[in-house]
Structure 1
Amino acid sequence: MEKVFLGIGSNVGEKIPYIKKAVTLLSKILTDMEKAPLYISKAVGFEDQPDFINTVISGYTDIEPYELFKKVKDIEKKVGRIKRFRWGPREIDIDILFYGNLLIEKDDLIIPHPRIHERDFVLKPLSDLDPDFVHPVFKKTVKELLLNLKEKSIISSLQLSTL
């Protein structure tokens, strides 16, 4: 079993229900799942769109990385994702951030996610779950990456007791 971290975000429609539904579906393929708090953040890339709600979950799986990627994309469809354009609005977005310390660099799958170190809306919830996890490429902890981050997009955290 490998520990995986998945980033989840939504900025269209019923954002929190979409995230809750994704987490419920992901709980069927991950064991010992942990959930970080929710954060509101400005859009990155294409900025002229609504704010996002983001979180990170962790859990364990014996599903191979490509199969996990397929399952994650299927869950996005089940939740209601509509494909628009790169960095555009999303009902739900689920990214594989880390799969243990595995390194994969293929056209359709890159692990660790290539922009983790640039995004506080990923690093902050990651740090909430496991601040001492070491990024296998940069050889720095999640906490160190967050502390060294220059640009910030998080506006606030959401205080919800359950997700």
Structure 2
Amino acid sequence: MRLQLERRAVLSLGANLGDRVATIDAAVRALDAIEGIRVLLRSSAWESPSWHPDGEGLSPDYVNIVVIVGATMEPIDLLDAVQAVEAALGRERAQRWGSRTIDIDIVAIGEMEHAEDRLVIPHPRAHERQFVLQPWLEVEPRASIPGHGPIAELADYAHGDAWKLP
């Protein structure tokens, strides 16, 4: 792992199995404990319906948050780190779009545009997802997604629904 200057990265966390909020809290603590990752901002918890290619509502609703982190690692090393947190919290990758104890996506790293087999930055569908845009809008209302524009404008047209948990 080659170290470099700290870059701001946007991570989207979601869970729809077990104690969803407790699992997300544990994931944030685990991320902050990793050398090279520093949690800077955290959104409120938002809820959104589960989504499957053959229809919504087939699984429990998700709880979602966005965290802004400072990261001093290369993008692929950040991916390895978040996947290690997922594994430690019981994430199983048995089915695409399946229910999960925790899901952590790298949404953006600064203005970086990056594509390889394991990682595409910015996340290729983040600009379409209310469960990413609404929590992100809460903590960084002037943010933009490289190649897509301001998240405030994207949220006006994005698919799905997300509501803040009380």
TM-score normalised by L of structure 1: 0.91
Distance 1:73 1:32, change over 3 A: closer
Q: Which residue of 1 aligns with 2:150?
A: 141
Q: 1:129 aligns with which of 120, 132, 139?
A: 139
Corresponding residue pairs, total: 156
Partner of 1:86: 96
Pick one of 11, 14, 19 that aligns with 1:6.
11
> Are 1:66 and 2:76 matched, yes or no?
yes
Q: 1:11 corresponds to which letter in structure 2? A: N
> 1:125-162: CA deviations, max 9, x gaps?
01011121121112x1111111232x3222x3113xxx
One-letter amino acid of the counterpart of residue 33, structure 1: L
Partners of 2:7 and 2:103 in 1: how far apart? 22
TM-score, normalised to structure 2, is 0.89
In structure 2, how many angstroms separate the alpha carbons of the residues matched to 1:135 and 1:77? 28
Structure 2 residue runs without a partner (length 5+): 1-5
Q: Deviations over 1:72-127 (max 9, x none)?
A: 00000111112220000000000000011111111211110000111101000010
Deviation at 1:32, TM superposition (A): 4.9
Corresponding position of 2:45? 38
- Read off the aligned partner of 2:119 and give its amino acid letter: L
Q: Which residue of 2 aligns with 1:107?
A: 117
Q: Which runs of 5+ in 1 are unaligned?
A: none
Please tell me the residue identity of whatever aligns with 2:90: G
Offset of residue 31 of structure 1: 2.3
Deviation, structure 1 residue 45? 2.8
What value does the CA root-mean-square deviation take over the aligned residues? Answer: 1.2
Equivalent residue letter for 1:152: G
Bigger CA drift: 12-21 or 89-98? 12-21
Structure 2 distance, partners of 1:12, 1:32, is 24
